[in-house]
């Protein structure tokens, strides 16, 4: 699946909270800090930008997919 070019940081954070067990802990400057306890503790900063850069989005997706033990395609299908 192709990486979206117009996904905002807020939309990504909302999708991760809704579908993958993350919760918004705080916002520091322009970064939304997400946290999860399953399968282990992970803190994840997501930039609150109108449109995330492709490299930034890929890095976040790689972190989440490796932590949750799922494929990047499965993660992208729920985020979109």
The 10s digit of each residue's pLDDT in 36-80 is: 998 999 999 999 999 999 999 999 999 999 999 999 999 999 887
Q: State pTM to two decimals.
A: 0.92
Residues 10-23: tens digit of each pLDDT? 999 999 999 999 99
Domain of 38, CATH number, reads 3.30.920
Q: Identify whether 80 is part of a domain.
A: no
How would you class 13 by CB atoms within 10 Å of its CB: exposed for 0-12, middle for 13-18, buried for 19 or more? buried
- State the Cα–Cα distance between residues 70 and 28, nearest whole angstrom: 28
Parent domain of 60: 9-75
User: What is the count of structural domains for the chain?
Assistant: 1
- State the Cα–Cα distance between residues 49 and 77, nearest whole angstrom: 21
Give the pLDDT score at 49: 94
- State the Cα–Cα distance between residues 1 and 30, nearest whole angstrom: 28
Q: Identify whether 4 is part of a domain.
A: no
């Amino acid at each position: 699946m192709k990486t979206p070019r117009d996904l905002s940081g807020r939309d990504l954070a909302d999708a991760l909270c809704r579908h993958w067990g993350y919760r918004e802990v705080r916002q520091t400057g322009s970064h939304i800090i997400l946290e999860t306890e399953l399968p282990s503790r992970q803190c994840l900063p997501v930039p609150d930008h109108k449109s995330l850069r492709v490299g930034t989005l890929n890095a976040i997706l790689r972190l989440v997919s490796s932590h949750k033990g799922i494929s990047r395609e499965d993660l992208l299908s729920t985020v979109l």
